[in-house]
């Protein structure tokens, strides 16, 4: 009959060492649980003296409020997910840092999901984030299928950092302007006198395709006589080998390469050096991402720099707008910048060819 009999005697069956609860603090402090709740959350309704007393007791007992119970009753978790393709990638690291900073400001907690460069795992991880109760997800990956994205976006707001093949209703995007990145790279190279410029790319995913298209477009605009050459979408290694072979034969070989990203550029640099191709004398190379790789390579890599931190920050801001009620889709792009290093060099006077002449840009 007495309801207080059951909970005390056989109850508390779970943890060997139970975490103190708001009840324990209340009892120890000689107040009601409501008072403790108010004191903890720094709300008014308790006097300053009792608040201090309660906090002291809580501190002593080592009380920590149970986020789960709190969010259960409040109906919100304050959690935001971020889905990465790959830890161990400085691009993702920097974007994440931007997201983190913005999240901290907005009192949101970030939960990281790790896709490990595997589409299946990526989706499982996304599910996992949802199960954890995130109120929105930022995705740094183009590997999630549009169908899946659309389904998920009905449940929680989604922001994709990067390119999507097509806009997905309900999904916001943040992307760098590949057209500008490609233009910066190509202009830099043409300014240095290069005309035979190739693009080296490793995949046919949306992001890579977009960058590749941007390259082709800007090449057509800047060098109408030249057919833009794209290498490697199916077989990167073979393309690199062929490129090196061409250069060694010196017939019609590209004198400059704009790569899809720094990793690909690093592979190319390695292959060139192994084959005895002198860099940057025989070949100028421009990467994309301005990652930590750039400074490790010799020659150090000229690269297009995306404002990674800013992109992360922006993504979180867009997500929190969604949480605040925005319903129309937003797609934001940010202009990248070129960081010139030692891997690009003016083309030596070609035998009898006509030389493109433009004033060199000073950085």
Which residues make up the interface to its own copies (CB under 8 A)?
13-15, 19, 62, 64-69, 71-72, 74-77, 84, 86-94, 96-97, 100, 109-112, 114, 116, 128, 130-133, 155, 266, 269-270, 273-274, 292-293, 295-298, 300
Please name which of 209, 268, 216 lies closest in space to residue 241, comparing C-alpha atoms.
268
Q: How far is the CB of 109 from DNA (least distance, A)?
A: 15
**Residue 197: strand pairing partners:** 256
Nearer to its own copies, 76 or 220 (CB): 76
Q: How far is the CB of 56 from its own copies (least distance, A)?
A: 18
Q: Is 317 helix (H, G, I), strand (E, B) or coil?
A: helix
Q: How far is the CB of 105 from DNA (least distance, A)?
A: 21
Q: Is 81 helix (H, G, I), strand (E, B) or coil?
A: strand
Q: How far is the CB of 3 from DNA (least distance, A)?
A: 5
Q: Scanning residues 250 to 269, which ones bind DNA (CB under 7 A)?
A: none
Q: How far is the CB of 102 from its own copies (least distance, A)?
A: 14
Q: How many residues bind DNA (CB under 7 A)?
A: 38
Q: Does 56 bind DNA (CB under 7 A)?
A: no
Q: Phi then psi for 17, rounded to 5 degrees?
A: -110, 105
Q: Does 33 bind DNA (CB under 7 A)?
A: yes
- Which residues, at least 6 apart from 28, have a Cβ–Cβ distance to it below 8 Å? 57, 60, 61
Q: Do the Cβ atoms of 80 and 109 come closer than 8 Å?
A: yes
Q: Does 46 bind DNA (CB under 7 A)?
A: yes
The verdict on whether omega for the bond into residue 107 sits within 30 degrees of 0, i.e. cis, is no
Q: Is 48 helix (H, G, I), strand (E, B) or coil?
A: helix
Q: How far is the CB of 289 from its own copies (least distance, A)?
A: 12
What the block records as the tokens of 75 is 């109906």
Q: Binding partner of residue 9 among DNA, its own copies, none, CB under 5 to 8 Å per kind?
A: none
Q: Binding partner of residue 266 among DNA, its own copies, none, CB under 5 to 8 Å per kind?
A: its own copies
Q: Binding partner of residue 253 among its own copies, DNA, none, CB under 5 to 8 Å per kind?
A: none
Q: Does 73 bind DNA (CB under 7 A)?
A: yes
How many Å separate Cα 176 from the centre of its chain? 11
Angle at 88 between CA 322 and CA 150, to 5 degrees: 30
Q: With contacts defined by CB under 7 A, name the span among 58-66, 129-137, 238-246, 273-281 that binds DNA.
A: 58-66
Please name which of 287, 298, 318, 343 lies closest in space to residue 91, comparing C-alpha atoms.
287
Q: Binding partner of residue 204 among DNA, its own copies, none, CB under 5 to 8 Å per kind?
A: none
What the block records as the tokens of 304 is 């297009």
Q: Binding partner of residue 3 among DNA, its own copies, none, CB under 5 to 8 Å per kind?
A: DNA
H/E segment holding residue 258: strand 256-259
Q: Binding partner of residue 235 among its own copies, DNA, none, CB under 5 to 8 Å per kind?
A: none
Sign of the dihedral through C-alpha 265, 268, 273, 274:
positive
What would you report as the CA-atom Rg of the chain, rounded to the nearest whole angstrom? 28
Q: How far is the CB of 363 from DNA (least distance, A)?
A: 52
Q: Binding partner of residue 295 among its own copies, DNA, none, CB under 5 to 8 Å per kind?
A: its own copies
Q: How far is the CB of 123 from DNA (least distance, A)?
A: 21
Integer Cα distance of 188 and 88 in angstroms = 30
Q: Does 116 bind DNA (CB under 7 A)?
A: no
Please name which of 325, 337, 314 lies closest in space to residue 160, comparing C-alpha atoms.
314
Residues making contact with DNA (CB under 7 A): 3, 6-7, 11-13, 18-19, 21-23, 31-35, 37-38, 40-41, 44-51, 63-66, 69-70, 72-75
């Amino acid at each position: 009959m007495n309801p207080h009999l059951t909970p005390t005697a056989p109850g508390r069956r779970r943890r060997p060492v139970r975490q103190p609860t708001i009840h324990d603090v209340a009892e120890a402090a000689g107040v009601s649980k409501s008072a403790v709740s108010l004191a903890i959350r720094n709300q008014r309704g308790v006097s300053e003296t009792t608040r201090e007393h309660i906090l002291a007791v809580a501190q002593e007992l080592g009380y920590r409020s149970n986020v789960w119970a709190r969010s259960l009753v409040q109906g919100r978790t304050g959690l935001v997910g971020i889905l990465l393709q790959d830890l161990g990638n400085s691009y993702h690291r920097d974007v994440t840092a931007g997201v983190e900073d913005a999240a901290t400001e907005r009192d949101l907690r970030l939960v990281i999901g790790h896709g490990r460069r595997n589409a299946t795992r990526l989706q499982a991880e996304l599910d996992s984030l949802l199960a954890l109760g995130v109120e929105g997800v930022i995705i740094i990956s183009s590997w999630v299928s549009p169908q899946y994205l659309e389904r998920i976006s009905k449940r929680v707001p989604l922001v994709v950092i990067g390119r999507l093949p097509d806009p997905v209703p309900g999904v916001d995007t943040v992307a760098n302007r590949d057209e500008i990145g490609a233009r910066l790279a190509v202009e830099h190279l043409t300014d240095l006198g290069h005309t035979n410029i190739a693009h080296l790319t490793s995949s046919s995913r949306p992001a890579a395709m977009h960058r590749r298209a941007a390259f082709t477009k800007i090449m057509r605009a800047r060098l109408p006589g030249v057919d833009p050459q794209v290498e490697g979408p199916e077989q990167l290694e073979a393309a690199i080998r062929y490129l090196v072979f061409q250069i060694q034969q010196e017939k019609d070989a590209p004198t400059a390469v704009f790569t899809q990203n720094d990793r690909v550029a690093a592979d190319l640099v390695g292959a060139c050096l192994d084959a005895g191709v002198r860099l940057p004398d025989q070949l100028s190379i421009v990467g994309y991402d301005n990652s930590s790789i750039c400074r490790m390579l010799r020659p150090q890599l000229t690269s297009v720099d995306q404002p990674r931190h800013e992109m992360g920050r922006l993504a979180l801001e867009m997500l929190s707008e969604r949480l605040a009620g925005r319903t129309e889709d937003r797609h934001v792009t940010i202009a990248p910048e070129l960081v010139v290093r030692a891997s690009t060099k003016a083309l030596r006077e070609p035998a009898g060819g006509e030389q493109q002449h433009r004033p060199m840009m000073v950085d």
